[in-house]
Structure 1
């Protein structure tokens, strides 16, 4: 099997994780180009076409990552699970760096990821393996019907998976009060906010 040693990288940056379980933790983000899920409200649609982003060697990524003090890398997209991440993740582990992925779960994962953040989308069905691997289920709430949709997915994940509801940014003023009430009635859920946008950082 061919070892994948480069990826189309849209952007990479050292910042603070703004969402979910690791909110507030320093993290180096690697955003891969390429996605065929097609979320209408996606805020990084420029990531969809992989050919628009330069093939970047893993060695170059590692050089930039190790130039920071990070001990945590988040691989996101686009849809990062489209790619075989095994080599990249193994090299990060050799450096003592923890690795998370943010994925829609619509592709089988290739790579020994430490933290699997599963954010299913209505536009393309996830694979069954996503439910078993998920350590964090993060459902974006765009309208009221998404609450039941979130419960449908929560019923399939493993028992240790943490459950998060996150308002879609453009609908936050309308949806956040509903999410607050929902979580008070259903305390197995937690609220995830895009705190990086409040902090005005990437």
Structure 2
């Protein structure tokens, strides 16, 4: 598995926000979002190869029993992520996968929860909305928004794509947070407003 870094921090967003988590950041991404905060992870040759046994041994030495695979796009290394998730789940870990919604995540769902980051227009990229029906109640969907066009896109998606899991609307860091919060209050959609906690705490 090609890994950029493994670090221990508080989960900054999603259903587990605030929970101590071990993050495994995988190398390589098939998108190049305009506001990507980890551009170094876009390179599939970044970081180093780490054997699954070595990764699991490293994680086991941490006190934390929650693991998040992120990137880049972790599901570009699907076989490795599925195997690591299966083994971690079997050891009693809670596993989460953060994905950009361009790769079918169903193979990993028996062993992990999924957070699908639906790309809005300001990102310059698009996600595969046909994956949304496969989001379960234990999974979640996140829209990172920075403009009114993004909010209009969120509204369009929510009207046409019923989502079983929890839905988060998260402002791009530095965007009009109060305006976006006001939209959440007035929209009537079953969504949660959420700032990116790790940005404000200046943590990874």
| TM-score, normalised relative to structure 1 | 0.88
Alignment gaps of 5+ in structure 1: 1-6
- Rounded to whole Å, the distance in 2 between the matches of 1:52 and 1:36 is 14
- Rounded to whole Å, the distance in 1 between the matches of 2:148 and 2:111 is 32
Matched, 1:165 2:169: yes
Contact kept, 8 Å, 2:101 with 2:117, in 1: the verdict is yes
Partner of 1:21: 15
- Rounded to whole Å, the distance in 2 between the matches of 1:15 and 1:92 is 18
Displacement, 1:156? 5.1
Contact kept, 8 Å, 2:145 with 2:170, in 1: the verdict is yes
Displacement, 1:192? 1.5
Contact kept, 8 Å, 1:107 with 1:127, in 2: the verdict is no
The aligned runs of 1:28-67 (5 Å cut-off) are: 28-67=22-61
Matched, 1:142 2:180: no
Alignment gaps of 5+ in structure 2: none
Comparing 61-70 with 156-165, which one deviates more in the overlay?
156-165
Q: How many residues align?
A: 193
* Cα deviation code 1:22-65 (max 9, x no counterpart): 11111110010100111011011111111122111111111111
Match of 1:118 among 116, 126, 136: 116
Partner of 2:184: 183
Contact kept, 8 Å, 1:105 with 1:120, in 2: the verdict is yes
**SS at 2:148 equivalent:** coil
Contact kept, 8 Å, 1:32 with 1:47, in 2: the verdict is yes
| TM-score, normalised relative to structure 2 | 0.87
Partner of 2:103: 107
Contact kept, 8 Å, 1:154 with 1:163, in 2: the verdict is no
- Rounded to whole Å, the distance in 2 between the matches of 1:14 and 1:156 is 38
Match of 2:90 among 90, 94, 97: 94
- Rounded to whole Å, the distance in 2 between the matches of 1:156 and 1:30 is 33
- 4+ runs of 1 displaced by more than 6 Å? none
Contact kept, 8 Å, 1:99 with 1:113, in 2: the verdict is yes
